């Protein structure tokens, strides 16, 4: 292996003049938080709390709380979508995947032109014509109340799992960064961190609404970008190396780090170019075509043009961030191969626990103040992620459960509200607190469960806890848009079939005891296609008549309508 071939000179002899802190053979280098770090964290909390208070005072109704009065700037919305979808999970998983498996994950970006066509050409114009608050209002318009309830329930399950995983990942990263010399609390640190993030997020969400979240998201993007640049710059500064050196080291370390198999008929093959492209394509079109967290941000813009610009800025910044994180993974792989003594305690090789190396490096190698900045980034990301999810769930619960509406096939602007605005706002804030408590409990359970499964990476855990709901949920929307004969009794069984298959796919090893699991990159594609195909087959035998008024909500029918005066351009 390459570890034996690389020189193991300590940075103390090669880069001390540059301020490096790595010493060969040290097992635990974290020195804890210093006063400058605490100052940075406190300033961040004061800033974000002030933003929440400021926007909370300006809210007059649920339209302000959930969609910002539909007047949010497109560039802020685009960065907010990135910050929401590119959570701590991606921020840690991308460098970890590069360290563990190499460049295979990045082959998924070959699918971006296709995803852009679907999102820009099909999804955004369609939803902006409908001008909804909850995306699942559409399912009632198209299929009826049962479909709306099913869609909203799948979304809630998806986002509860997602928020729990993000809270767990951020808490784990923070415990790795804080260090052993910082003040300790009784018990396991991760449980205290999970609790703090959950409580703060619930309070922030109840106060600020989506306007505060979007502007905090902009700050978060800057902090996350700072973190990855500090990691790349830190390795380059301490070792005097660059991307070419890191690539050469990775290609020597293992063949999969610099090349990837194109395709395999064996679905238990974890990474191929085709599998990763399918994973990227279906994840993107699914989240942008059915996920309230994403669609709610598009709903907050003033026009179709602004919504499209939001997607484009999200696409560009997302790609740039992913490339930088991949480069950080290469840099960290080379760094820890050269300095194995700098690995976290109990880890002997970089690929043993790849998700831990990025936060460990940030916490143990950066100068005072910088650690606090990056901890603020992780806190910002985790809290913002919970804020986004809690706010979106509050919108869904308020509009789809507490406030059942009457969907009129002839009403182009959506259902008519029944509760007063003040009542809905109170319900929304109450739901935010309850959901925050549920997420806190679930995240603690995830932290406890993972202690018995140290072999799982964050990327492997995503299908198990939340991506298993993405395929059936998104397919339900696609069935409504593009299968005119589909009706409730064909769409619902198809979605339930897809959900059953998704659970089996994601938990195959645990259910069957098999040695190998199906590829996580196919965990959305397989149930998505199963749901759509089965709905189409059922509609051939049990489909609706041509005069069914619910057919007015297929994609083609909606796009023929006269645009809303404030929703098109």
**pLDDT tens digit sequence for 446-475:** 888 888 887 788 888 999 999 999 999 999
544 with 472: CB under 8 angstroms?
Answer: no
Q: Which of 29-33, 56-60, 189-193, 310-314 has the highest mean pLDDT?
A: 310-314
Mean pLDDT of 283-296: 92
Tell me the whole-structure pTM to 2 decimals. 0.83
* DSSP notation for 56-76: HHT--SHHHHHHGGG---HHH
pLDDT tens across 387-445, in order?
777 777 877 887 788 765 544 443 444 444 456 667 766 777 777 778 878 888 888 88
d(CA 239, CA 8): 12
- At residue 25, does pLDDT exceed 50? no
Mean pLDDT of 137-161: 94
* DSSP notation for 469-515: GHHHHHHHHHHHHH-TT--HHHHHHHHHHHHHHHHHHHTHHHHH--S
- Where do the structural domains in the chain lie, given as residue ranges? 2-7+31-559
pLDDT value of position 32: 60
Q: Give the CA distances from residue 169 to residues 172, 443, 462, in Å, rounded to whole numbers and listed in that order.
A: 5, 9, 11
346: left (phi over 0), alpha (psi -120 to 50) or beta: left
Q: Helical H runs in 291-368?
A: 292-299, 304-338, 357-365
Q: By C-alpha distance, which of 295, 300, 294, 298 is closest to 69? A: 300
Q: Dig out the tokens for 559 from the structure.
A: 């796009």
Q: CA geometry: angle at 206 spanning 53 and 42, to 5°? A: 50
Q: Which residues, other chains included, contact 35 with Cβ-Cβ below 8 Å and sequence gap of 6+?
A: 368
Polymer length of the chain: 569
The SS3 of residue 351 is coil
Mean pLDDT of 230-236: 92
d(CA 203, CA 104): 40
Q: By C-alpha distance, which of 424, 425, 318, 436 is closest to 388? A: 436
- At residue 11, does pLDDT exceed 60? no
d(CA 260, CA 262): 6
pLDDT value of position 26: 39
pLDDT tens across 75-130, in order?
788 777 787 777 778 888 999 999 998 889 989 999 999 999 999 999 999 999 98
Q: Give the CA distances from residue 160 to residues 90, 163, 227, in Å, rounded to whole numbers and listed in that order.
A: 17, 5, 27
- At residue 52, does pLDDT exceed 60? yes
Residue 438 burial by CB count (10 A; 0-12/13-18/19+): exposed, middle or buried? middle
Domain 2-7+31-559, CATH among 3.40.190.10, 1.10.3720.10, 1.10.357.10, 1.20.1730.10: 1.20.1730.10
The SS3 of residue 20 is coil
């Amino acid at each position: 292996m390459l570890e034996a071939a690389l020189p193991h000179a300590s940075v103390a002899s090669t880069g001390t003049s540059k301020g490096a802190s790595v010493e060969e053979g040290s097992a635990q280098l974290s020195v804890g938080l210093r006063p400058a770090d605490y100052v940075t964290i406190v300033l961040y909390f004061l800033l974000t709390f002030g933003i929440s208070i400021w926007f909370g005072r300006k809210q007059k109704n649920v339209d302000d709380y959930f969609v910002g009065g539909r007047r949010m700037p497109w560039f802020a919305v685009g960065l907010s979508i990135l910050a929401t979808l590119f959570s701590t999970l991606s921020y840690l998983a991308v460098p970890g995947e590069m360290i563990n498996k190499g460049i295979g994950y990045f082959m998924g970006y070959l699918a971006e032109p296709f995803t852009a066509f679907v999102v820009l050409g099909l999804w955004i114009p369609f939803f902006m014509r409908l001008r909804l608050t909850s995306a699942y209002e559409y399912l009632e318009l198209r299929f009826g109340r049962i479909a709306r309830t099913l869609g909203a329930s799948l979304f809630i399950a998806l986002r509860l799992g997602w928020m729990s995983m993000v809270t767990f990942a951020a808490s784990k990263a923070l415990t790795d960064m804080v260090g052993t010399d910082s003040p300790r609390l009784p018990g396991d640190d991760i449980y205290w961190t999970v609790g703090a993030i959950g409580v703060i997020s619930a309070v922030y969400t109840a106060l600020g609404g989506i306007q505060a979240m979007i502007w905090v998201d902009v700050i978060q993007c800057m902090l996350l970008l700072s973190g990855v640049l500090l990691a790349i710059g830190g390795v380059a500064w301490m070792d005097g190396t660059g991307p070419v050196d890191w690539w050469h080291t990775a290609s020597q370390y293992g063949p999969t780090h610099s090349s990837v198999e194109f395709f395999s008929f064996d679905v238990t093959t974890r990474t191929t170019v085709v599998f990763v492209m399918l994973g990227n394509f279906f994840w993107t079109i699914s989240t942008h075509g059915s996920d309230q967290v994403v669609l709610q941000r598009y709903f907050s813009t003033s026009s179709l043009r602004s919504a499209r610009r939001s997607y484009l800025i999200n696409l560009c910044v997302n790609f740039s961030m992913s490339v930088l994180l991949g480069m950080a993974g290469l840099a960290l792989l080379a760094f820890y191969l050269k300095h194995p003594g700098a690995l976290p305690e109990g880890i002997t090789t970089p690929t043993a626990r790849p998700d831990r190396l990025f936060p460990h490096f940030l916490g143990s190698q950066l100068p005072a103040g910088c650690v606090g900045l990056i901890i603020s980034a992780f806190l910002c990301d985790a809290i913002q992620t919970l804020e986004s999810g809690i706010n979106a769930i509050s919108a869904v619960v308020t509009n789809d459960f507490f406030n059942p509406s009457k969907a009129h096939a002839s009403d182009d602007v959506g259902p008519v509200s029944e509760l007063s605005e003040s009542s809905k706002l109170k319900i929304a804030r109450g739901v935010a607190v309850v959901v925050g408590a549920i997420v806190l409990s679930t995240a603690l359970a995830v932290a406890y469960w993972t202690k018995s499964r140290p072999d799982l990476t964050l990327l492997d855990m995503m299908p198990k806890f939340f991506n298993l709901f993405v395929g059936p949920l998104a397919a339900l929307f696609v069935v409504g848009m593009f299968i005119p004969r589909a009706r409730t009794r064909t769409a619902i069984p198809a979605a339930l079939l897809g959900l059953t298959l998704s659970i089996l796919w994601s938990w195959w090893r645990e259910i069957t005891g098999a040695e190998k699991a199906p590829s996580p990159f196919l965990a959305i594609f397989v149930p998505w296609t199963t749901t759509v195909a089965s709905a189409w087959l059922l509609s051939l035998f049990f489909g609706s008549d041509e005069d069914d008024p619910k057919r007015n909500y297929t994609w083609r029918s909606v796009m023929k309508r006269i645009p809303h005066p404030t929703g098109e351009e």
